[in-house]
Amino acid sequence: MSEAVALRQPGGSGGAATAQRRGAEPTGERTLVQAINAALALALEADPNVVVLGEDVAQIGGVFRVTEGLKARFGQDRVIDTPLTETGIIGAAIGMAIAGMKPVAEIQFADFIYPAFDQIVNEAAKYRYRSGGDFHVPLVIRTPYGGGIKGGHYHSQSPEALFIHTPGLKVVVPATPADAHGLLLSAIDDPDPVLFFEPKRIYRAVKGPVPAGAERVPLSEARVARRGRAVTCVAWGAMLYEALAAAAAVADDGIDVEVIDLRTLWPVDITTLRQSVEKTGRLVVVQEAPRACGFAAELISLVCEHAFLHLEAPPQRVTGYDTPFPYTLEHDYLPLADRIAAALRGTARFA
Amino acid sequence: MSEAVALRQPGGSGGAATAQRRGAEPTGERTLVQAINAALALALEADPNVVVLGEDVAQIGGVFRVTEGLKARFGQDRVIDTPLTETGIIGAAIGMAIAGMKPVAEIQFADFIYPAFDQIVNEAAKYRYRSGGDFHVPLVIRTPYGGGIKGGHYHSQSPEALFIHTPGLKVVVPATPADAHGLLLSAIDDPDPVLFFEPKRIYRAVKGPVPAGAERVPLSEARVARRGRAVTCVAWGAMLYEALAAAAAVADDGIDVEVIDLRTLWPVDITTLRQSVEKTGRLVVVQEAPRACGFAAELISLVCEHAFLHLEAPPQRVTGYDTPFPYTLEHDYLPLADRIAAALRGTARFA
Amino acid sequence: MVDSLESLRLAPLTLPPPTPAKAGTESLELLANVLRWMLRSRFIDERLEKLQRQGRIGFHVGALGEEGAILGATAALKADDWLVPCYREFAALLYRGYPLERYLDNVYGNCDDVVQGRQMPDHVTSRALNYLSVSSPVGTQITHATGLAWAAKLKGERRVAAVFFGDGATSSNDFHAALTIAGVHKLPTLFLCRNNHFAISVPTSQQCAATTFAAKGAGYGVLGLKVDGNDVAAVVAAVREARARALAGEGPTLLELDTYRLGGHSTSDDPTRYRSQDEFEAFKAKDPVIRLRQTLVQAGAWSEALEADALAQIKAELSQAVSRAEAKAKPPLSSVFHDVYAEMPWHLRAQWREAEAACTAKDASAAAEEGDQDV
Amino acid sequence: MVDSLESLRLAPLTLPPPTPAKAGTESLELLANVLRWMLRSRFIDERLEKLQRQGRIGFHVGALGEEGAILGATAALKADDWLVPCYREFAALLYRGYPLERYLDNVYGNCDDVVQGRQMPDHVTSRALNYLSVSSPVGTQITHATGLAWAAKLKGERRVAAVFFGDGATSSNDFHAALTIAGVHKLPTLFLCRNNHFAISVPTSQQCAATTFAAKGAGYGVLGLKVDGNDVAAVVAAVREARARALAGEGPTLLELDTYRLGGHSTSDDPTRYRSQDEFEAFKAKDPVIRLRQTLVQAGAWSEALEADALAQIKAELSQAVSRAEAKAKPPLSSVFHDVYAEMPWHLRAQWREAEAACTAKDASAAAEEGDQDV
Ligand SMILES: Cc1ncc(C[n+]2csc(CCOP(=O)(O)OP(=O)(O)O)c2C)c(N)n1
Ligand SMILES: Cc1ncc(C[n+]2csc(CCOP(=O)(O)OP(=O)(O)O)c2C)c(N)n1
Ligand SMILES: [Mg+2]
Ligand SMILES: [Mg+2]
Specify if A278 maps to a domain.
yes
> Is A333 an interface residue toward C (CB < 8 Å)?
yes
What is the pLDDT averaged over residues D46-50?
98
Q: Give the angle subtended at the CA of C137 by the CAs of C132 and C142, to the nearest 5°.
A: 50
Residues A199 and A80 placed together within one structural domain of the fold? yes
Specify if B38 maps to a domain.
yes
- Please tell me the predicted confidence (pLDDT) of residue D142: 98
What is the pLDDT averaged over residues D343-370?
92
- Please tell me the predicted confidence (pLDDT) of residue A14: 35
- Cβ distance C215 to D216 less than 8 Å, yes or no, reads no
Q: What dihedral angle (degrees, nearest 10) is formed by the CA atoms of C30, C31, C34, C40?
A: -120
- Is the pLDDT at D22 greater than 80? The verdict is no
Residues B325 and B237 placed together within one structural domain of the fold? yes
Instruction: Please tell me the distance between residue C343's alpha carbon and the centre of ligand 2 in angstroms.
Output: 38
Residues with Cβ within 8 Å of D368's Cβ and at least 6 positions away in sequence, in order, are: none
Nearest CA to ligand 1 atom 8: C138
Residues A310 and A172 placed together within one structural domain of the fold? no
- Cβ distance D208 to C183 less than 8 Å, yes or no, reads yes
Residues with Cβ within 8 Å of A216's Cβ and at least 6 positions away in sequence, in order, are: A182, A185, A186, A189
- Please tell me the predicted confidence (pLDDT) of residue B228: 98
- Is the pLDDT at A263 greater than 60? The verdict is yes
Q: What is the mean pLDDT of chain D?
A: 92
- Please tell me the predicted confidence (pLDDT) of residue D372: 63
C277-327 residue pLDDT tens: 999 999 999 999 999 999 999 999 999 999 999 999 999 999 999 999 999
Q: Which residues of B touch C121 (CB under 8 A)?
A: none
What is the pLDDT averaged over residues C337-350?
98
Residues 50-109, chain B, touching C (beta carbon < 8 A): 51, 77-78, 82-83, 85, 87-88, 90-101, 103
- Please tell me the predicted confidence (pLDDT) of residue C213: 97
Cis peptide before C16 (omega within 30 of 0): yes
Residues A207 and A228 placed together within one structural domain of the fold? no
Residues A150 and A283 placed together within one structural domain of the fold? no
For residue C281, count CB atoms less than 10 angstroms from its CB and return exposed for 0-12, middle for 13-18, buried for 19 or more: exposed
Of the partner residues B51, B92, B101, the one whose CB lies closest to the CB of residue C146: B92
Beta pairing, strands D82-84 & D202-203? unpaired
Hey, of C362, C363, C365, which one would you mutate to test binding to chain A, going by the most A CBs within 10 A of its CB?
Answer: C362
Specify if A196 maps to a domain.
yes
- Please tell me the predicted confidence (pLDDT) of residue D370: 73
CB atoms within 10 A of CB B322: 25
Per-position pLDDT tens, chain B of length 351: 333 333 333 333 333 333 333 434 434 799 999 999 999 999 999 999 999 999 999 999 999 999 999 999 999 999 999 999 999 999 999 999 999 999 999 999 999 999 999 999 999 999 999 999 999 999 999 999 999 999 999 999 999 999 999 999 999 999 999 999 999 999 999 999 999 999 999 999 999 999 999 999 999 999 999 999 999 999 999 999 999 999 999 999 999 999 999 999 999 999 999 999 999 999 999 999 999 999 999 999 999 999 999 999 999 999 999 999 999 999 999 999 999 999 999 999 998
Specify if B47 maps to a domain.
yes
- Is the pLDDT at C19 greater than 50? The verdict is no
D149-184 residue pLDDT tens: 999 999 999 999 999 999 999 999 999 999 999 999
Q: What dihedral angle (degrees, nearest 10) is formed by the CA atoms of C100, C103, C109, C110?
A: 40
- Please tell me the predicted confidence (pLDDT) of residue D363: 86
**Number of domains chain B is built from:** 2
What sign results for the dihedral spanned by CA atoms D311, D317, D320, D322?
negative
CB A214 within 8 A of CB A174: no
Q: Which residues of B touch A328 (CB under 8 A)?
A: none
Domain residue ranges of chain C, discontinuous segments joined by +: 5-327, 333-374
- Please tell me the predicted confidence (pLDDT) of residue C370: 73
Specify if A6 maps to a domain.
no
Residues A341 and A231 placed together within one structural domain of the fold? yes
What is the pLDDT averaged over residues C258-281?
96
Q: Residue B316: name the closest of A257, A306, A59 by CA.
A: A306
Q: Complex ipTM, two decimals?
A: 0.95
Residues facing A316 on adjacent strands: A284
How far is residue C116's CA from residue B129's CA, in Å, rounded to a whole number? 9
Q: Assign residue B272 the CATH number of its domain.
A: 3.40.50.920
**Residues contacting ligand 2 via CB (< 6 Å):** B 55, 84, 86, 108, 112, 115; D 88, 136-138, 165-169, 194, 196, 198-200, 261, 265
Q: CB-hemisphere CA count at 13 Å for A165?
A: 29
Q: At what angle do helices C2-10 and C232-247 cross, to 10 degrees?
A: 150
- Please tell me the predicted confidence (pLDDT) of residue D18: 42
Residues A194 and A336 placed together within one structural domain of the fold? no
- Cβ distance D268 to B63 less than 8 Å, yes or no, reads yes
Confidence of residue C352 (pLDDT cuts 50, 70, 90): very high
- Please tell me the predicted confidence (pLDDT) of residue A12: 37
How far is residue D178's CA from residue D312's CA, in Å, rounded to a whole number? 42
- Is the pLDDT at A83 greater than 80? The verdict is yes
DSSP-assigned letter for residue B9:
P
Confidence of residue D26 (pLDDT cuts 50, 70, 90): low
The active-site residue, picked from C274, C293, C349, C353, is C274
Of the partner residues C117, C337, C358, the one whose CB lies closest to the CB of residue A339: C358
- The values of phi and psi at residue C15, to 5°, are -80, 160
- Is the pLDDT at D328 greater than 90? The verdict is yes
Confidence of residue A3 (pLDDT cuts 50, 70, 90): very low
The active-site residue, picked from B136, B153, B155, B331, is B155
Confidence of residue C8 (pLDDT cuts 50, 70, 90): very low
- Is the pLDDT at D5 greater than 70? The verdict is no
Confidence of residue A67 (pLDDT cuts 50, 70, 90): very high
Residues B179 and B34 placed together within one structural domain of the fold? yes
- Please tell me the predicted confidence (pLDDT) of residue C212: 96
> Is C118 an interface residue toward B (CB < 8 Å)?
yes
- Please tell me the predicted confidence (pLDDT) of residue D128: 98
- Is the pLDDT at D264 greater than 70? The verdict is yes
**Residue span of the structural domain in which A267 resides:** 223-349
Spatial strand order in the sheet of B170-172: B79-81, B50-54, B102-106, B140-145, B194-199, B170-172, B264-266
Q: Which residues of D touch A167 (CB under 8 A)?
A: 340
Nearest CA in chain A to C105: A328
Ligand 1 atom with the smallest distance to the CA of A56 is 23
- Is the pLDDT at C14 greater than 80? The verdict is no
- Please tell me the predicted confidence (pLDDT) of residue C372: 62
Residues A277 and A325 placed together within one structural domain of the fold? yes
- Is the pLDDT at A348 greater than 80? The verdict is yes
What is the pLDDT averaged over residues C362-372?
79
C207-259 residue pLDDT tens: 999 999 999 999 999 999 999 999 999 999 999 999 999 999 999 999 999 99
D58-115 residue pLDDT tens: 999 999 999 999 999 999 999 999 999 999 999 999 999 999 999 999 999 999 999 9
What is the pLDDT averaged over residues A49-73?
98
- Please tell me the predicted confidence (pLDDT) of residue A9: 35
C5-327: CATH topology: Rossmann fold (3.40.50)
The helix/strand/coil state of C229 is coil
Q: Residue A259: name the closest of A296, A288, A222 by CA.
A: A222
- Please tell me the predicted confidence (pLDDT) of residue A23: 39
- Please tell me the predicted confidence (pLDDT) of residue C21: 44
Structure pTM? 0.95
Taking the CA of residue D236 and the nearest CA in chain B, the distance in Å comes to 29
Residues B109 and B193 placed together within one structural domain of the fold? yes
High-pLDDT (> 90) share of chain B, %: 91
Confidence of residue C374 (pLDDT cuts 50, 70, 90): low
Specify if B12 maps to a domain.
no
Residues A254 and A113 placed together within one structural domain of the fold? no
B226-282 residue pLDDT tens: 999 999 999 999 999 999 999 999 999 999 999 999 999 999 999 999 999 999 999
B70-82 residue pLDDT tens: 999 999 999 999 9
C89-123 residue pLDDT tens: 999 999 999 999 999 999 999 999 999 999 999 99
Q: Residue B231: name the closest of B318, B334, B343 by CA.
A: B343
Residues with Cβ within 8 Å of A37's Cβ and at least 6 positions away in sequence, in order, are: A66, A67, A68, A69, A70
List of chains touching D (3+ CB pairs within 8 A): A, B, C
Residues B52 and B90 placed together within one structural domain of the fold? yes
How far is residue D77's CA from residue C281's CA, in Å, rounded to a whole number? 50
> Is B7 an interface residue toward D (CB < 8 Å)?
no
What is the pLDDT averaged over residues C180-184?
98
- Is the pLDDT at D7 greater than 70? The verdict is no
The helix/strand/coil state of B343 is helix
- Please tell me the predicted confidence (pLDDT) of residue D36: 98
CB D28 within 8 A of CB D245: no
In the residue annotation, C274 being an active-site residue is answered as yes
- Cβ distance B300 to A304 less than 8 Å, yes or no, reads yes
The active-site residue, picked from A155, A165, A306, A331, is A155
